[in-house]
Amino acid sequence: MRLPEITNPVALECRECHARYPVEPLTICEECFGPLEPAYDLEAVDGVDFRKHVEAGPASLWRYEALLPGGPGIDRVDLGAGFTPLRLAERLGERLGMERLWIKDDSVNPSNSFKDRVVSVAITIARAFGFEAVSCASTGNLANATAAHAAKAGIPAFVFVPEDLEVAKILATEAYGAKVVAVKGNYDDVNRLCTEVAEALPWAFINVNMRPYYAEGSKSLGFEVAEQLGWRLPDHVVVPVASGALMTKVHRAFRELVAVGAVEDRAYRISGAQAEGCAPVADAFRSGASEVRPVKPDTIAKSLAIGNPADGWYAIQTARDTGGAVEACPEDEIVAGVRLLAETEGVFTETAGGVTVAVLKRLRESRAIAPEEETVALITGNGGRAVLGRVPRRPPRLNRCAELRRTAPRDETDGVLTGREGPCGRSSRSSWRGCSSQEVGPSPR
Ligand SMILES: Cc1ncc(COP(=O)(O)O)c(C=O)c1O
Ligand SMILES: [Zn+2]
C-alpha cells in the first residue's frame, strides 16, 4: 500500500533544544529528551488568506487545516468534532460578578468531550503512517473518542483504562466496538503499561507514540475562541488541567494566530483548573516549585485524575508567561460547579467542567479575575455519563404548594447543591435546606 505524503507539519521540533526531526511516529528528542512538537512553515501562511480559508471551511476543527497535522491531501477521520458554540454566559456571569463571561461548550462534541478533537487528528495521522490498529491510555473521555473515531475509520481499537473508571464511560466505549482493558491501578499505572506495550506492538497509541500529533488537536479550541470572538483574543481563558496539554496548546494556538497575522497581538492570561484531590500542577504553581511532583489521585473528577502530568511543567510556564494562575478547588465544590453551570446556563457538564466553574468562581472571589475582564471558560465534557452518580438520583417530591414556595426563589449566593445528601435525600447546603424528611413525599414508581 502506498502511503500519502504528509506535508503538514513540515517537521517535528524539540521544545527544548529545537532540534528538528522528520514527520514520523517519534515523540522524544534524541539530543536532550525534550518532547517533540509539530512545526509549521508559519511564514508561508498569510493571516488574511488563512481567515478566508477558515471561514469557507467545514464546521469542524478541520477548518484550521493550515495549522494542524494532516493538512490538504490527507484522508481525514472526521466525525465533525469542533466548531462548538461559544456561549455568552450572562446568568453565570451575574452570579460570579463578571461582566463578560463566555462558555466554550465542548460538551456537544460527537462523543461528548473535547477529546474528539485530539483523536480526530491523531487517528488521521496514524492512518497516514499506515497503522492498522489504535490504542490509548485513558481517564475516560479519550477512550470514548478513540473508540468512536476508530469505528468511523474501520480500524480496531484497544483502550486501556483505570479499573475504577465510571461504568457509563466503559459502556459507551464498548458500544463503539472497542476492546476495553481495565488495568489495576490509577491512570499513571495505565500510562506506564501502555508505554511498555507500545514498544512491543505495532499499534498507534494515541497519547504515547502519536502524542505530538494528538496534542495539536487541542489548538483548535484556541483557534475557535479567537474566531468566534471576531478574530480577536480574550483577556483570560480558564482551562481544566489533567496532563496539561490543553492549557499549553491554547497558548500555542494564540501565538500562532498572532504569528501569521490572523489576530492582533495583545496581553491575555491563561489559567488552569484542577481538583484538590489531584492537583500536582496547582501545587507546584502555588508553591513556586521548579518541578511538578507526582501525586496519587483521589478525586471525583476522574477525567482530570493524572497524578504525573506529562505537560504539567509547560502548563505552569503557560500560566507564568501570561500572568495567569493554576488553582485547585476542594472536592465538595466540583458538583456545586456542575450544578451552578447547569442551572444558570442550561449546560450540563461533567466533573471536569465542575472543576473549571469552581476554580473560575475562586479566581473571581480572590480578585485574580477582575469583573470587567473578558473571560472564556472551557467546558470540555458532557455531564450525562459521568456525574449522574454524584447528584441526588430522584428529586425530592414536595406535597404542598406552600412547601414549593418555601424552597423558591433560590438563595443567590448559597443556592447551589453540593451533591452531599442529608437524610431526606436533599442536599445539605442548598435551596432545599430547612426541610425535614417528613416534608418530602415518596418518589413516584
Ligand atoms: C473533559 C476533560 N477536560 C480536560 C481534560 C484535560 O486535558 P489535558 O490532559 O490536555 O490537560 C481532560 C483530559 O482527559 C478531559 O477529559
Ligand atoms: Zn532536544
Specify the pLDDT at position 241: 98
Q: What pLDDT is attached to residue 301?
A: 95
Protein residues whose CB sits closer than 6 Å to any atom of ligand 1:
113, 115, 139, 141-142, 218, 240-246, 303-304, 352, 380-381
Distance 314 CA to ligand 2 centre (A): 15
Helical H segments across 85-140, by residue range: 90-96, 115-129
Q: Does residue 414 sit in the same domain as residue 276?
A: no
Mean pLDDT of 269-296: 97
Which ligand 1 atom lies nearest to the CA of residue 315? Answer: 11
Q: Identify whether residues 363 and 433 lie together within a single domain.
A: no
CA–CA distance, 14 with 25 (Å, rounded to integer)? 14
Q: Which residue has the cell 487545516?
A: 65
Question: What pLDDT does residue 395 have?
Answer: 46
Tell me how many domains the chain contains: 3
The ligand 1 atom nearest the CA atom of 140 = 16
List the beta bridge partners of residue 20: 13
Cβ atoms 43, 58 nearer than 8 A: no
Q: pLDDT at position 392, please?
A: 43
Structural domain includes residue 180: yes
Residue 435 clears pLDDT 80, i.e. is over it = no
Angle between helix axes 219-228 and 245-260 (nearest 10 degrees) is 50
**Residue finishing a domain among 194, 214, 234:** 214
Write down the pLDDT at residue 166: 82
Which atom of ligand 1 approaches the CA of 246 most closely?
A: 10
- Ligand 1 centroid – CA 271 distance (Å): 14
Question: Which range has the worst mean pLDDT, 87-96, 332-341, 424-433?
Answer: 424-433
- Predicted local confidence at residue 127, as pLDDT: 95
Query: Strand, coil or helix: what is 158?
Result: strand
pLDDT at 330: 98
Claim to verify: residue 160 and residue 281 sit in the same structural domain: no
**Ligand nearest to the CA of residue 32, numbered in listed order:** 2
Pairing of strands 375-379, 101-105: parallel
Tell me: do 263 and 322 sit in the same domain. yes
* Nearest protein CA to atom 15 of ligand 1, as residue: 303
Least confident interval from 42-56, 199-213, 418-432: 418-432
Per-residue pLDDT, averaged over 64-77, amounts to: 91
The answer to whether position 332 is within a domain reads yes
Structural domain of 440: 393-445
Query: How far apart, in whole angstroms, are the C-alpha atoms of residue 108 and residue 126?
Result: 25
Residue 71: per-residue pLDDT:
72
Angle at 117 between CA 112 and CA 118, to 5 degrees: 115
Q: Do 273 and 156 lie in a common domain? A: no
Q: Is residue 441 part of a domain?
A: yes
Q: Are 220 and 213 in contact (CB under 8 A)?
A: no
pLDDT at 387: 53
Calculate the dihedral angle through the C-alpha atoms of 360, 366, 368, 372, rounding to the nearest 10 degrees.
80
In tens, the pLDDT along 200-246 reads 999 999 999 999 999 999 999 999 999 999 999 999 999 999 999 99
- Counting from 1 in the atom list of ligand 1, the atom nearest the Cα of 350 is 1
Counting ligands in written order, the one closest to the CA of 238 is: 1
Distant-in-sequence, close-in-space partners of 295: CB < 8 Å, separation ≥ 6: 278, 279, 280, 283, 307
Ligand nearest the Cα atom of residue 33? 2
**What share of the chain in percent tops pLDDT 90?**
78
User: Which residues partner with 273 through β-bridges?
Assistant: 240, 327
Short-list 279, 268, 327, 335, CA closest to 304: 279
Higher pLDDT, 190 or 166: 190
Helix axes 115-129, 141-153, angle to 10 degrees: 40
Where is pLDDT greater, at 297 or 421?
Answer: 297
For the CA of 239, the closest atom of ligand 1 is 4
DSSP 8-state class, residue 373: -
3-state secondary structure of 8: coil
134 CA distance to ligand 2 middle (Å): 27
Mean pLDDT of 17-34: 97
Whole-angstrom distance, CA of residue 159 vs CA of residue 404: 47
Residues 120 and 238 in one domain: no
Question: In this structure, which residue's CA is closest to atom 14 in ligand 1?
Answer: 303
Measure Cα distances from 266 to 104, 233, 269, 322 in Å. 20, 7, 10, 11
Looking at the structure, do residues 154 and 224 belong to the same domain, yes or no?
Answer: no
For residues 320 and 339, the answer to whether their CB atoms sit within 8 Å is no
Kindly state whether residue 38 falls inside one of the protein's structural domains.
Answer: no
Tell me the average pLDDT across 356-372.
Answer: 98
pLDDT digits (tens, 9 = 90+) for 366-400: 999 999 999 999 999 999 755 544 444 444 454 45
Q: For residues 411 and 217, which has the higher predicted lDDT (pLDDT)? A: 217
Question: Do 233 and 250 belong to one domain?
Answer: yes
Residues 209 and 221 grouped into a single domain: no
pLDDT, tens only, 128-171? 999 999 999 998 899 999 999 999 999 999 999 998 888 888 89
Specify whether the CB–CB gap between 128 and 70 falls below 8 A: yes
pLDDT tens track for 37-49: 999 999 999 999 9
Burial level of 337, CB count in 10 A (0-12/13-18/19+)?
buried
Mark which of 214, 239, 259 sits at the end of a domain: 214
Nearest CA to ligand 1 atom 2: 380
Distance CA 237, CA 380 (A): 13
In a domain, 28, yes or no: no
CA nearest neighbour of 180 among 202, 156, 204: 156
pLDDT band, very low/low/confident/very high, at 19 (cuts 50, 70, 90): very high
Half-sphere exposure of 27 (CA within 13 A, CB side): 15
Does 27 reside within a domain? no
- Give 404's pLDDT tier (boundaries 50, 70, 90): very low
Cell representation of residue 119: 483523536
Taking alpha carbons only, the member of 78, 221, 190, 225 closest to residue 145 is 78
- Average of pLDDT values for 310-316? 97
Listed in sequence order, the DSSP H helices in 366-412 are: 383-386, 401-407
For ligand 2, the distance from its centroid to the CA atom of residue 116, given in whole angstroms, is 29
* Each residue's pLDDT tens digit, 244-263: 999 999 999 999 999 999 99
Confidence of residue 329 (pLDDT cuts 50, 70, 90): very high
Do residues 278 and 148 share a domain?
A: no
Binned at pLDDT 50, 70 and 90, residue 430 comes out as very low
CATH number for 359: 3.40.50.1100
Tell me, in angstroms, the distance from the centre of ligand 1 to residue 239's CA. 9
